[in-house]
Amino acid sequence: DLNYVVMKASYLDDVILEFLGKASHASFPEQGINTLDMLGEFLSQIKLGIPYPESTLNLGTINGGSTSNTVPAAIKLTGDYRATNLETMQKIAEDLKNARDFVLSQAKFKEAKIDLEIIEYCLGLCFCQ
């Protein structure tokens, strides 16, 4: 229907997160760096769903591990976040970076790595007064 005018549209960024630890056999978990533990710590630092008013943050795919009897060495997540203003987009990006830095600051993860890629996908707009 062409009877509508868009006055406001969200900014949208894609997110790719890769947690890189160290595999070990399940009988010696202390010899590995468990990326599931890393992911849990990361998620404890961010708010999924609606982190701020008029915004969303979603991690929609999760892939990782190689066998059922090993500590997973890698987990990859993809998702996106949206907001109706640039300041909120910057806050969410900062939250993701701070969560990454928090995890990597812990001694048990000192040899681990978290790759965080933010891809600007869509610029928002607002013809508001």
Residue range 43-66, pLDDT digits in tens: 999 999 999 999 999 999 999 998
Residue 67, C-beta contacts closer than 8 angstroms, at least 6 positions apart: none
The identity of residue 117, as a single letter, is: E
Strands 8-9 and 125-126, how do they pair?
Answer: antiparallel
Cα within 13 Å of Cα(51), Cβ side: 25
pLDDT digits (tens, 9 = 90+) for 3-55: 766 566 789 999 999 999 999 999 999 999 999 999 999 999 999 999 999 99
Name the band, by pLDDT with cuts 50, 70 and 90, for residue 129.
low
User: Can you tell me the distance from the alpha carbon of 127 to that of 17, in angstroms, rounded to the nearest whole number?
Assistant: 33
Inter-CA distances, 98 with 27, 41, 66, 93, Å: 33, 12, 28, 9
Q: What is the pTM of this model?
A: 0.90
